[in-house]
Structure formats: C-alpha cells, structure tokens
Amino acid sequence: MSRFKSFLSCIVVLNLVCIAMAQAQVSVTVEPRAKPISPDLFGIFFEDLNYAADGGLYAELLQNRSFEYQATEQLTWNPLTSWELVARGGGKGSLAIEAASPLHPNNPHYVVVNVASPGAGVGLSNSGFDGIAVRAGEKYDLSLFARQVYTGRRWSNPQRFDTPSSLVARLENADGTVLGEASLEVLGSGWKRLTATLTASQSDPQARFVLLATTQGGIGLDEISLFPQKTFRNRPNGLRPDLAQVLADLKPSFVRFPGGCLVHGDGLGNLYRWKDTIGPVEQRRGQSNIWRYHQSVGLGFFEYFQFCEDIGAKPLPIVPAAVCCQNSGQMGGTGQEGLPMAEMPAFIQDVLDLIEYANGPATSTWGAKRAAAGHPGPFHLEYVGIGNEDAQTPVFRERFKMIDDAVKARHPEVTVIGTAGPSPNGKDFDEGWKFANELKLPVVDEHYYQSPDWFLANQHRYDSYDRTKSKVFVGEYASKGNAWLNAMAEAAYMTSLERNGDVVRLASYAPLLAREGHTQWNPDLIYFTATAVCPTVNYYVQQLFSINHGDSFFSTTVSTPAGGASVSEKNLATSCVKDSKTGDIILKLINVSTNPVPAQVIFPGDFGDINPVAACTVLSGDPRAKNTFATPQEVVPRTSQLTVSRSFQYDMPASSFTVIRIKGSTTVK
C-alpha cells in the first residue's frame, strides 16, 4: 500500500479514443490510496437444486439407493422408485419394503427380495439417473448391506441361517447384454456390508444395474451403491470428475454451500441439519429437498469441506437461522416459523459444533469425527453464514441474534454473515441491513435476480455504500438468462464489484449446476447430462473474472468526448486491477453495444514501465448467442498475444468482453 502513497497526485489515464463511428474516452485514475480488493471476491454458490448433488456432482450412480424416496417428495414416488422387480429364466419372487430391524434408524426402509423359485435369478434393477453411464474398461465399486430374512419357505428355524444366499450383480445394456458381473454371498440375519467391483466391457450411456438372487429364500438389502472408481481426486464417496473439474476451473475463492432455500427448508422439520450429513453414508439421514426431490446427503459436510480444500477454495457453509423458509408449504403450509425456544440451546450448540468439526483439534469431540473421516487437520473455516434471505421478522431476529451472540462469544475468529432478504431493495432488504448495522455484523448477504438492463443501470450501486459498516456478500445474483447479452451485463456489473472490492467482500453467481431434464430453476451457470457438461456463456464470464482477479484497483471512469457520436456510457464498462503476486496489470473492457469501438489505450508516464507482452482474451458473439449441448462453442474465450505499450490501439469488438493481461509490469513508480 505504501508504494502508492507517494503518488498522491498521480493520475493514470487510459484513454479509449474512438476513431470510427463512435467516440469514447476512458480514464483510469489511481486514487491517492490504491483501493484494495477483497482476496475472496469471486467464488461459487453450490445448492442441491436441479439435481446438482444426487444425480449430479455426487458420483453415486444408483438412484434411491437406500429405499427412502417418499410420495411426500413427489406424488408418484415410493421407496421402490427407480427400482424394478426382475425375474429371469422362470424365476419367481417378489419385492417388499420393510422397516423392521433397519440398518440404521436414520435409514429406516430396506427392500426384501423374496425368492420363491430362483430360476435364472430373481432380484431388482436400478435405472440410475436417466440410465447409468459406464465407460469401457472402467471399474465400478459396488457396496451393499444385506442380511438373510426368514420368509417361511426355506428355513424352518428363522434363527439359523447356515447356508449362504447367492447374489449376482451385473451391469447390463438395454437388450440385456452383460457389461460387467460379480458374485456375492449373504450369510446370517445381521446386516453385513458386502463389496465387489464391476468392470465395464463396453461403454454405454444408459446401462442398468441388476442384482439377482440365485437361491431360494429372503434377502434384505439396503444402501446399494455403485460408484465409479474414478472420482475427483480419487476421493472415496467422491465427486463426478468432469463436473468437479469444471467447478475447479472457475478457480473460486470460496464455495457457499449447501444452499439457498435448501438450508432453511420447507417447514421446521426440513431445516438442513449438518450433523445428519456426516459419518458413514448408511447412517446419514436423507430428507426431502425443498426443490421437491430427495437428498441422500451422501454429499455431506465432510465432502463439501474436502472439495473446498481440493480446489483451494474457502468453505462458506450456511446454517439456518432457526427459522424455516418463508415460502414453506406453498400449498397452504406454514410460512416462516421459528424453532421453539426450548430447542434453541441444542440448535446453537450444533452451530458451535460445526465450527469445532471444521477447525477443532482431532482430540476435540467434533474434530475427532472429522479425523475419523480421514482428515485429522483442520479445514480452516473462516466464514459462517446464518440464514438465507429470510423474511425479517421478530421471530427471525430473536433467533438470529441468539446464534450470532453465541458464535461471537465462542469463536470471535469466525466471520458471521447475515442476510438481507431475497431482493436488492424493499422491506426485507432495508430491515435486514438495519438489523445488521445494529448487530455490527461483519458481512451481509444480498441476493438479486434481475434483467440485463438492471445490471447495466446499477453499476454504481456499491460506489456509495458506507465503508465503515458491514461488508457485502453478493451471495446470489444472475441476469435471468443464458444469452450472451445476459453474460455481458453480468461482466459489466462485475467490473463494478471489482471497483468496490473494498466493500464487496464476496460474490457468487446463482444457481450453479443443472441436470438437463431435471431443472427446477433456470438459468443456471452449468448444464450437464450423465455424460456431458455444457458451460454457459455466463460461466466463461465468471471464469475470466476469477482467474484474472487482482488485489488492488485502479479507479476507472468512462467518458465520451464532446463532438463525435458517442457510445452510451452504460454500454461500456472497464476495470483495471493489479495482481501483486505476478505483478500483472489486468485490464477488462466490456462493449455491450453492437458496434465495434476502436480505442486508444494510454498509460501515462506515472504508470512506470509497461511490459509489451500481453495476453488478450476475448469473448464475443451475437447478443442472443447461447452455449448449448448442440452448439457448445458459440461464445468461448479465445486468447492471443497482444503487443502493448504506454499508448496502444485496441479495437473492442462489437458485443465483447476483453481481458488484457499485461505481464509483470512495473506499475506506478
């Protein structure tokens, strides 16, 4: 910082002088003190929405593996959803859902395969999430819990199971061709974990999993899981590598998880309880998702923390503020309700325990559980968000304050993030901020989904925010579309987040992931199928900002000289930042107009030496262009070398976002 202080009068001017149809002039001014930019500015927000977790990032291939789907999640669902009875070669038998002597109380249902006559096998098949995608030569780890069950047919004495029951597990294609096979044996009436590995002989995007009993009698089965051996960073119970990689490629500084509305849930019984999501997967308590499907919580808090560590992002968990979503039970349900006061001490303890789980020594109660999961060292949790765009009511405020007081008292090292409703203005927004100021919260979470015009018109939103008060987390924002115009508007707005990187501490686009055919919310940043990933044009904007972030900002102004035809200021946005690690100067130029804007870029003498070598990355296209599975390359970044100098010509293409990264420049002497 001190190096900048000697340049109190220094003015760096970067002129974009339009010499064709339009004329503009952009000035970049170094203020008396260079403005620092939050090191955590650009992150991601993961919510299990649009099948982002089960059927998405979580690599499990079988759907409804623990037979817990319910009609309360979707009217047509039941514990056998996505499973089917299979009887081969004259086999006869049936499937039944049982709850007596379950594998674990958190996982109360299981299936019993009753084999009256085995024929060539009786059992069940699973269709995965729209089929199971397998690749030739790859290995798939099967695990399941099984026990012999008395059916009254085979054993006269139900207590004596001394002959094993045989199981055959297969991957099959649609016409029944076996793509991989393994055998297992079940012995005894107590639950036992059995494992096998299936190797796929052929690739198939829509295989099915089949499990056949080839002996007469009853077998109880639960938590039937099929995992690719190849997961992201080879983590057990891990993540789908292509999806995890596309997130890692965003180089996010943080990951906000696990929601969103998912966190405060649909009614008090549906609050997201992090403790239900750790430990052996068969002992986790899955539950209905506010987005109307089932969350297995196989992707739970341990896996979230591990993923953050694997991609070098700070974990940013959100816990409910002990109130449920104000939209709970839209069909005549509860609306916002608060936990009874008698339950608050335990709820608050859960929040404190989360911090211990993440950061406590392996000898502490909750740190020991983290260590038992394979991570003795801490996860370095710095932030905890309390609440998600909750309605600002006395019920909310009372509970929020109780949680905040406890975290502040026990963990002053953790930054608490408050919440300011679902909109960029209005009653909840105003009251949320007023409350945050009363409590002197360090950071407040703002959410907004608005039109491209709104984003272009609101580029000065944070210029006037009070720097002495709470900092901002733009926890959810998007311009309601996946066309290039939307992404350009977001890019223009993101220059304003950089400019205000001293008061905007964190920002994340929302929502992140969406499985084709299973979306509850559009637009999203990344679409995927079982075998393919399609980053949207918005994704590339997020990525260019994230990989080209800086830690200090050179204030920019955009002006058009009097006289010539002008380009609307609203349609041009710029920012200039420095990355002190590399010494690179990074200039971002957004031209939302449909005309090219030829420009002269000038760095005045005070700016020091300018390295002539620059990388110039451009995103441009028709404002209506979208990246889709059919046309994934409509707008993708293209990088070339650019020779720059103290004064150089750069023609901003029509409808474009350019990043000019000037290598290791010496700035402001």
Cα separation values, 102 from 38, 149, 184, 520, Å:
50, 12, 21, 33
Could you tell me the smallest distance in angstroms from the CB atom of residue 88 to ligand AHR?
44
Only one of the segments 121-129, 133-141, 215-223, 259-267 lies at the binding site for ligand AHR (rule: CB under 6 A); that segment is 259-267
Could you tell me the smallest distance in angstroms from the CB atom of residue 265 to ligand AHR?
11
Site residues (CB under 6 A) for ligand AHR, limited to 51-110: none
Please tell me whether residue 116 adopts helix, strand or coil conformation: strand
Only one of the segments 198-206, 255-263, 555-563, 571-579 lies at the binding site for ligand AHR (rule: CB under 6 A); that segment is 255-263
Residue 113's φ and ψ, nearest 5 degrees, are: -95, 115
Q: Is the peptide bond before 258 cis (omega within 30 degrees of 0)?
A: yes
Distance (Å, whole) CA 94 – CA 152: 14
Radius of gyration of the chain (CA): 28
Site residues (CB under 6 A) for ligand AHR, limited to 510-569: 510-511, 521
- Evaluate whether 663 touches 7 at the Cβ level (below 8 Å): no
Measured from the CB atom, the residue of 155 and 272 that comes closer to ligand AHR is: 272
Residue 540's φ and ψ, nearest 5 degrees, are: -65, -30
Distance (Å, whole) CA 246 – CA 528: 11
Given 47, 223, 356, 389, the catalytic residue:
389
Distance (Å, whole) CA 330 – CA 33: 51
Gap between the terminal Cα atoms of the chain: 13
Only one of the segments 236-244, 257-265, 310-318, 658-666 lies at the binding site for ligand AHR (rule: CB under 6 A); that segment is 257-265
Site residues (CB under 6 A) for ligand AHR, limited to 432-471: 447
Distance (Å, whole) CA 77 – CA 294: 10
**Residue from 388, 495, 508, 620 in contact with ligand AHR (CB under 6 A):** 388
Site membership for ligand AHR, residue 260 (CB under 6 A): yes
Distance (Å, whole) CA 421 – CA 432: 7
Site membership for ligand AHR, residue 261 (CB under 6 A): yes
Measured from the CB atom, the residue of 511 and 623 that comes closer to ligand AHR is: 511
Only one of the segments 66-74, 256-264, 274-282, 567-575 lies at the binding site for ligand AHR (rule: CB under 6 A); that segment is 256-264
Measured from the CB atom, the residue of 465 and 521 that comes closer to ligand AHR is: 521
Could you tell me the smallest distance in angstroms from the CB atom of residue 295 to ligand AHR?
13
Per-residue x/- track, 166-185, ligand AHR (CB under 6 A): --------------------
Measured from the CB atom, the residue of 404 and 428 that comes closer to ligand AHR is: 428
Site membership for ligand AHR, residue 389 (CB under 6 A): yes
Q: Which helix (H) or strand (E) holds 657?
A: strand 656-662
Interacting residues of 405 by C-beta distance below 8 A, sequence separation 6+: none
Q: How long, in residues, is the chain?
A: 669
Q: Residues in contact with ligand AHR, total (CB under 6 A)?
A: 13
**Residue from 68, 476, 490, 498 in contact with ligand AHR (CB under 6 A):** 476
Measured from the CB atom, the residue of 49 and 200 that comes closer to ligand AHR is: 49
Distance (Å, whole) CA 648 – CA 664: 18
**Residue from 259, 298, 385, 523 in contact with ligand AHR (CB under 6 A):** 259
Strand ranges for 486-530 from DSSP E: 504-509, 513-515, 526-528
Site residues (CB under 6 A) for ligand AHR, limited to 280-319: none
Per 3-state DSSP, what percentage of the chain is helix, strand, and coil (rounded to 5)?
Answer: 20, 35, 45
Only one of the segments 77-85, 253-261, 436-444, 605-613 lies at the binding site for ligand AHR (rule: CB under 6 A); that segment is 253-261
Site residues (CB under 6 A) for ligand AHR, limited to 31-50: 47, 49
User: By C-alpha distance, which of 247, 374, 312, 50 is closest to 239?
Assistant: 247
Site residues (CB under 6 A) for ligand AHR, limited to 178-237: none
Interacting residues of 44 by C-beta distance below 8 A, sequence separation 6+: 247, 250, 252, 254, 255, 256, 313, 508, 509, 512, 542
Q: Is 389 a catalytic residue?
A: yes
Could you tell me the smallest distance in angstroms from the CB atom of residue 165 to ligand AHR?
45
Could you tell me the smallest distance in angstroms from the CB atom of residue 462 to ligand AHR?
20
Measured from the CB atom, the residue of 37 and 474 that comes closer to ligand AHR is: 474
Distance (Å, whole) CA 94 – CA 165: 16
Measured from the CB atom, the residue of 55 and 475 that comes closer to ligand AHR is: 475
Interacting residues of 423 by C-beta distance below 8 A, sequence separation 6+: 429, 447, 448
Only one of the segments 68-76, 188-196, 258-266, 589-597 lies at the binding site for ligand AHR (rule: CB under 6 A); that segment is 258-266
Measured from the CB atom, the residue of 388 and 667 that comes closer to ligand AHR is: 388
**Residue from 422, 481, 598, 623 in contact with ligand AHR (CB under 6 A):** 422
Measured from the CB atom, the residue of 276 and 476 that comes closer to ligand AHR is: 476
Distance (Å, whole) CA 584 – CA 570: 27
Binding residues for ligand AHR (CB under 6 A): 47, 49, 259-261, 388-389, 422, 447, 476, 510-511, 521
Catalytic residue IDs: 389
